[in-house]
Amino acid sequence: MIRVGLTGGIGSGKTTVSAVFEKLGIAVYNSDFRARGVMSNQVIVSAIRDCFGDVYRQGVLDRKRLGEIVFADSEKLRLLNSIVHPAVAEDFMEWSEQQSSPYVIIESAILFESGFNCLTDKIIVVDAPLEIRIARVLSRDALTRKEAEQRIKAQMGDKERLQGADYVIVADGDRLLLPQITDIDASLKNIKTM
């Protein structure tokens, strides 16, 4: 099974690109969504409570509260990641073995920071200009500009992320996404059939 990492900064267009790959019949593991399930595991819940206090309300994680804590302190973000990332990595590997598509994709904004890149054979980076990313985040999430900028700063820089790419998709609103995605899809399917 070929495993492909799909990454890009917050607001870069990863989710849109993932949706196109899914339309092409490729199984996509959304690490943010799956992490929510992992974070309801009792062992993980206990570890998060021990480190961050009661950020669960009636058994449901208060993601906004936890985000306020970890995005304001890089050490707390590292601590949270050390709790959650190993469980997500294990979940991804189990999930990928159950898929039948020619290759699978793990979508993660923090593919490199989490170490998930080590689970993949190829990496796609979705890139977009900073102001476009901020505008997308502000229109989509209930964040202030300052909060959006904090989250962007908490992630790896674009230049560094692009250095780890095997493929780059430019999602700047000017270039068409579909031709970029179908070219990459064809290339990845060739790897599988070699």
Question: Residues annotated in the binding site for ATP, as ranges?
Answer: 11-16
The set of residues, in sequence order, having a beta carbon less than 8 Å from that of 9 and lying 6+ positions away, is: 109, 128, 133, 152, 155, 156, 158, 161
If you count DSSP H runs as helices and E runs as strands, how many of each does the chain have, helices first? 10, 7
Q: Which two tokens mark 88?
A: 């997500």
Q: Is 155:119 a contact under the CB 8 Å cutoff?
A: no
- Binding residues, as ranges, are 11-16
